[in-house]
Amino acid sequence: MTMSEKLSKRPEGIVKRCELGSSLPLAADLNLFLFDRGLHPELFRHYANYRVNQVRYHADIWFVGLSHVVTVTSGQRSLTELVCVDSDMLPARGILTRFRMKGERDLERRSPDGWHYMVSSQVETMDDALFKSVHFDLFKHAQKRGWSASFEAWADGDMIPFSYIDHEAWDGQFHVHAFHSFPSERTVVKTQTIFELPPA
């Protein structure tokens, strides 16, 4: 079998050595994407994966570098939030919206089949003293609650970049609070998201 034939058999033509999340992104380059489908795991380098099971849905959370993927699935229907650098590796099919993350932004999206998505995003750059305080306080909090992933290879002195995600799950809603700390840029990226299913 030729290399092109092997690639054609891989989902979305992904070459594993080029996974998104395998190099340090810049906070200034992050985008938020909303897809009306799931994304194939081979697109990304996974540092940690979690699943939350509810009666009406399940939610998959992937740490993919200083980025994340959250997919909520009910039956055959999925909605995916991706915070990541833009890349031509990402599929064009199924993108409902996308925007460059800068400052503060709120987005609300309702679909004809009754799904409701809301997100509030914030990119905050601080001076050295304030960032260091926020970084270490947030890191301590992440050890006590929710899920986190640290990236020692990308450390800036004693400050290690990390991602932290907390969640709340109800019968028809899934809430996500995500934080990504970028010491080299003295920046914290935050998202607060609600996925709401159609009424039962």
pTM above 0.85, yes or no: yes
Per-residue pLDDT of the chain (200 residues; tens, 9 = 90+): 433 333 334 334 333 445 787 888 999 999 999 999 999 999 999 999 999 999 999 999 999 999 999 999 999 999 999 999 999 889 999 999 999 999 999 999 999 999 999 999 999 999 999 999 999 999 999 988 889 999 999 998 889 999 999 999 999 999 999 999 999 999 999 999 999 999 98
Strand partners, 44: 20
The answer to whether the Cα torsion of 153, 160, 67, 186 is positive or negative is negative
State the residue range of the domain holding 113: 3-196
For tokens 């932290």, the residue is 164
Angle made by CA atoms 117, 53, 73, in degrees to the nearest 5: 40
How does DSSP assign 135-170, residue by residue? HHHHHHHHHHSSEEEE-GGG-BTTB--EEEEEEEE-
At residue 156, the pLDDT reads: 83
Q: In the predicted model, what is the mean pLDDT of the chain?
A: 90
Name which of 24, 28, 21, 47 is nearest 188 in CA terms: 28
Residues 30-58 pLDDT 10s: 999 999 999 999 999 999 999 999 999 99
**DSSP-based three-state secondary structure for 48:** strand
Residue 18 per-residue DSSP state: G
- In the chain, the number of structural domains is 1
